[in-house]
């Protein structure tokens, strides 16, 4: 099936949205073998952050996971690098009753879950990704230990009165609890020497009392339990200078973050409100159909002599498969075409030709609409003349160029009849392009940020979220932006009233004696998308003729699936 420009634009928007979601999802840590369709529970998560004399923070994380079911074979951990200058000496081990069983570090390209007791590391934007493998585990528990040195992670304030240093660490983040609940967690800070608790300042869960979490003025420990999705455990400790350290490069920007957050929040609100109003205002002034006078709720006769394809397109503002099928059935009802089932006699021939039809062109010089003539000339293939006969299944499929030409002919017909000021497909394409550009900005931002699209540590996420929302809004509004003229709005309303009549025809007509109505209005029923209901209604009254009635958009065996009429199939 060939795709027209409108469909391709929609696919681009959809693919960008999917890529954005996949990029965001890929940024979340999948810890300790959170294989898809399986779940596990963190029994304990213990993190110790020890300040070294050279200002390095040595981090030891010990995680005990309970695996119900399985098997589980891999685990991973993402370390944010936004507030760390460098991570060194990464080690992964399995904790056993006899001690630590170190895992072997290998290159990422050689890493495989089928080789247990190995691990690899790679930098992914602003994240250091650590991934390890272990022997297949089913309905058991395992404990893993990760060690690494974080350089340039200590905050230094030499010019403050009094001067101080600060450790800030997130032991359990939102991504960890999103993957699995945590029964018990601890976060411990260890200083190289004891300090007077009265000279410290604590920020963490449970309050800021300086003596509540320390032991001998050297160790501070915070505990949490029953952490679920969205919960976290983090703390900060300020203390007099203990080690020689210089201010990390990221510190000034981080300290300005609260002010930047307010700035980005204000900018995001301005863009969101202004952009939203602009989109709605553009639709209100240029996309909304004009007001018209009163129209009856139901019309029992067609309000005008229009080809079914034009009727279907003016009502739903798009050219689709059923408009093409209706265009074939309507000439059949007018005597331009004769459509009849094949009369195969052999068993094999019957099997091969079941549900097929013979189409005969009876009036090659008939008064046809531009779209009807173009479609018949395309599918009949030269010569196009009275008496041409084709087997329905053997008719030539229109090429991509011919498909786009057919679409444009019908859209131009709508404009020439005064129903639209411009092609609906062109209007939708403009709006879809704007939406695509906005989503492309989001996708590029996701790549620059290493997939960590909505990291709240950076205030820029608010702008990214704003562009994503505006891109999706514009892409959705694109479907309803084609603006009809007054004549087009009146025609759509009247034909909509006629559609209601067709939907409820058994309430207005004696269908057991109204056989002609079926053949007369079948093309319109197809164009409206109610052909199946239409056939079922007449079948109940026994008025449905076998020959020439099997022409629904869903079952009609005409090979026009490749005639992409530029809009998404319904």
pLDDT of amino acid 260: 64
pLDDT of amino acid 382: 63
Q: What angle do CA 472, 478, 479 make, to 5 degrees?
A: 110
Residues, the chain: 570
What is the number of other CB atoms lying within 10 angstroms of the CB of residue 16? Answer: 21
Task: Say which CATH class 31-250 falls into.
Answer: mainly beta
- Angstrom distance (rounded) from CA 279 to CA 477: 8
pLDDT of amino acid 383: 62
pLDDT of amino acid 195: 92
Q: Please indicate, yes or no, whether the overall pTM of this predicted structure exceeds 0.85.
A: no
- Angstrom distance (rounded) from CA 289 to CA 291: 7
SS3 readout for 437-483? HHHHHHHHHHHHCCCCCCCCCCCCHHHHHHHHHHHHHHHHHHHHCCC
Q: What secondary structure does DSSP assign to 63-92, as a single string?
A: EEEEESSS-EEEEEEEEE-TT-SEEEEEEE
Tens digit of pLDDT at every position of the chain (570 positions): 333 444 344 433 343 343 333 333 333 333 443 444 457 899 999 999 999 999 999 999 999 999 988 889 998 888 988 899 999 999 999 999 999 999 999 999 999 999 999 999 999 878 899 999 999 999 999 999 999 999 999 999 999 889 999 999 999 988 888 888 999 999 999 999 999 888 888 887 755 444 455 667 899 999 999 998 888 899 999 999 999 999 999 888 777 766 666 777 788 888 888 888 888 888 888 788 888 888 888 998 899 988 888 888 888 888 877 887 787 777 666 777 777 776 554 444 444 445 567 777 776 666 777 887 887 777 776 666 666 777 766 666 667 787 788 888 888 889 999 999 888 888 888 888 888 888 888 877 766 655 554 454 556 677 778 888 888 888 888 888 888 899 999 999 999 999 999 888 888 887 766 667 887 888 888 888 888 887 888 777 665 544 343 444 444 444 333 233 333 323
Q: Provide the CA 247 distance to its chain's centre, in angstroms.
A: 42
Closest CA to 471 of 511, 526, 432, 505: 432
Residue 400 belongs to what H/E stretch? helix 400-416
- Angstrom distance (rounded) from CA 240 to CA 55: 13
- Angstrom distance (rounded) from CA 88 to CA 503: 72
pLDDT of amino acid 558: 40
DSSP 8-state assignment for residue 393 = G
pLDDT of amino acid 419: 92
pLDDT of amino acid 345: 47
Residue 222 belongs to what H/E stretch? strand 219-227
What is the number of other CB atoms lying within 10 angstroms of the CB of residue 320? Answer: 23
In 277-435, DSSP assigns E strands to 337-341, 357-361, 389-391
Residues paired with 48 in a beta bridge: 60, 188
pLDDT of amino acid 167: 95
What end-to-end distance do the CA atoms of the chain give, in Å? 15
pLDDT of amino acid 467: 83
pLDDT of amino acid 206: 59
pLDDT of amino acid 15: 38
pLDDT of amino acid 320: 79
Torsion (CA) 176, 179, 181, 183 in degrees, nearest 10 = -50
Q: Report domain extents, the chain.
A: 1-30+256-288+423-482, 31-250, 308-421+483-540
Q: What angle do CA 50, 54, 58 make, to 5 degrees?
A: 25
**Residue partners of 88: CB distance under 8 A and separation at least 6:** 148, 149, 151
The helix/strand/coil state of 256 is coil
Torsion (CA) 289, 295, 301, 306 in degrees, nearest 10 = -20
Q: What secondary structure does DSSP assign to 129-189, as a single string?
A: EEEEEEEEESSEEEEEEEEEEEET-SEEETTSSS-EEEEEEEEE-HHHHHHS-EEEEEEEE
Q: What angle do CA 531, 534, 538 make, to 5 degrees?
A: 145
Q: Taking a C-beta distance cutoff of 8 angstroms, is the pair 165, 154 a contact?
A: yes
Query: Can you state the angle between helices 321-334 and 370-380, rounded to 10 degrees?
Result: 90
């Amino acid at each position: 099936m060939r795709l027209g420009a409108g469909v391709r634009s929609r696919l681009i928007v959809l693919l960008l949205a999917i890529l954005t979601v996949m990029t965001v999802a890929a940024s979340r840590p999948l810890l300790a073998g959170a294989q898809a369709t399986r779940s596990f529970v963190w029994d304990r998560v213990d993190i110790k952050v020890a300040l070294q004399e050279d200002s390095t923070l040595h981090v030891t994380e010990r995680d005990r996971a309970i695996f119900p079911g399985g098997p589980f074979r891999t685990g991973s951990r993402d370390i944010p690098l936004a507030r760390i200058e460098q991570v060194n000496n990464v080690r992964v081990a399995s904790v056993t009753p006899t001690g630590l069983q170190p895992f072997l570090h290998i290159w990422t390209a050689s890493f495989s879950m089928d080789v247990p007791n190995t691990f690899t590391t790679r930098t992914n934007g602003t994240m250091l990704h650590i991934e390890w493998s272990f022997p297949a585990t089913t309905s058991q528990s395992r404990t893993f230990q990760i060690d690494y040195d974080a350089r340039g992670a200590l905050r230094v304030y030499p010019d403050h009165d009094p001067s101080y240093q600060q450790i800030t660490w997130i032991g359990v983040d939102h991504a960890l609890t999103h993957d699995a609940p945590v029964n018990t967690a601890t976060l411990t800070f260890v200083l190289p020497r004891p300090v007077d608790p009265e000279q410290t300042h604590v920020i963490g869960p449970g309050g800021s009392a300086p003596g509540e979490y320390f032991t001998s003025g050297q160790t501070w420990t915070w505990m949490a339990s029953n952490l679920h999705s969205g919960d976290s455990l983090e703390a900060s400790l300020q203390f007099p200078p203990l080690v020689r350290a210089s201010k990390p490069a990221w510190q000034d920007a981080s300290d300005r973050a609260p002010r930047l957050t307010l700035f980005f929040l204000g900018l995001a609100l301005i863009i969101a409100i202004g952009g939203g109003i602009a989109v709605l205002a553009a639709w209100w002034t240029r996309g909304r159909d004009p007001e018209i006078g009163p129209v009856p709720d139901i019309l029992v006769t067609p309000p005008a002599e229009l080809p079914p394809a034009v009727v279907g397109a003016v009502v739903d503002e798009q050219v689709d498969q059923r408009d093409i099928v209706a265009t074939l059935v309507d000439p059949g009802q007018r005597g331009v075409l004769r459509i009849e089932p094949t009369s195969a006699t052999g068993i094999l021939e019957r099997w091969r030709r079941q549900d097929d039809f013979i189409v005969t062109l009876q009036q090659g010089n008939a008064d046809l609409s531009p779209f009807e003539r173009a479609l018949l000339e395309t599918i009949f293939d030269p010569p196009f003349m009275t008496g041409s006969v084709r087997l329905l299944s053997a008719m030539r499929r229109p090429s991509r160029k011919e498909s786009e030409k057919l679409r444009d002919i019908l859209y131009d017909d709508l404009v020439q009849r005064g129903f639209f000021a411009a092609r609906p497909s062109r209007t939708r394409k403009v709006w879809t392009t704007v939406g695509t550009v906005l989503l492309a900005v989001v996708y590029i931002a996701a790549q620059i940020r290493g997939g960590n699209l909505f990291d709240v540590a950076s205030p820029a996420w608010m702008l990214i979220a704003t562009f994503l929302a505006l891109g999706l809004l514009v892409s959705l509004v694109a479907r309803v932006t084609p603006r009809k003229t007054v004549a087009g709005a009146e025609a759509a309303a009247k034909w909509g009233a006629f559609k209601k009549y067709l939907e409820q025809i058994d309430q207005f007509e004696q269908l057991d004696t109204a056989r002609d109505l079926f053949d007369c209005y079948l093309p319109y029923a197809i164009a409206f998308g109610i052909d199946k209901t239409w056939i079922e209604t007449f079948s109940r009254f026994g008025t449905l003729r076998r020959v020439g009635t099997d022409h629904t958009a869903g079952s009609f065996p005409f090979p026009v699936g490749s005639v992409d009429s530029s809009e998404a199939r319904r």
